[in-house]
Amino acid sequence: MLLIAGLGNPGPKYSLNRHNIGFMALDALADTYTDSRWRKKYQGLISEGIVEGKKILLLKPHTFMNKSGNSISEVVKFYKMSPNQVIIFHDEIDLAPGKIRVKTGGGHAGHNGLRSITNHIGSDFVRIRIGVGHPGSKDQVHNYVLGNFSKSDQEGWLQDLLAGVRHGFPDLIDNNTTEFLNKINLTLQSKPKASMHRISSEKPPVTKQKKGEGIFSKLAKYFG
């Protein structure tokens, strides 16, 4: 069994924050790999499924970011899991928007969610670091990560990155991180993204969708 947790803060106020990209990744995975129904347990919301023959438990801690470890440790203790059975999706300000890296173990680098998890289960869990960019000054980090993604980001690279995460997820479960990252990169490269690195003020083309379709319209049913 594997625990797949996404970090974020609960409630509609935070739903589109950069800090909540972990929740967004979990919603994308639930749309494909579980029945998309979330239920309350372990101080969070969970959804279960089978991927590549392995049972997975998706968890969105509802303890707020700084106490993410409270929720995650409940699952780890109940199922007697080791840290290497835990995969965490989280925002990473030290990576450019749209960049993604996989890392096992290490420090928390000032990320309060990772700090809390480390304090509860140790540091040897898998981290899926999703770049959201840096505001340029340490003093601006708090407001930046608690700010919403721009509309062009939501409709551009972020939407494609979440689709890539969903597409490559079975490879991650099979411990093939190279192929997982390749599939995400291929998805991101399939269309030009002028907003990716903020090199242009032009808005990327938006594909019209039917009402109720798409990652961000689906978020509404979880966050109101």
Q: Catalytic site residue 19?
A: yes
Among 19, 62, 90, 111, which one carries the catalytic annotation? 19
Termini Cα distance of the chain = 31
Q: Are 61 and 70 in contact (CB under 8 A)?
A: yes
Q: Are 87 and 4 in contact (CB under 8 A)?
A: yes
- C-alpha span between 24 and 13 (Å, rounded): 14
Rounded to whole angstroms, the maximal C-alpha distance in the chain is 51
Q: Are 129 and 101 in contact (CB under 8 A)?
A: yes
Query: Strands (DSSP E) along 23-145, which ranges?
Result: 39-41, 44-51, 54-61, 86-92, 100-104, 126-131
The alpha-carbon radius of gyration of the chain (Å, integer) is: 16
CB hemisphere CA count around 44 (13 angstroms) = 29
* Catalytic residue ranges: 19
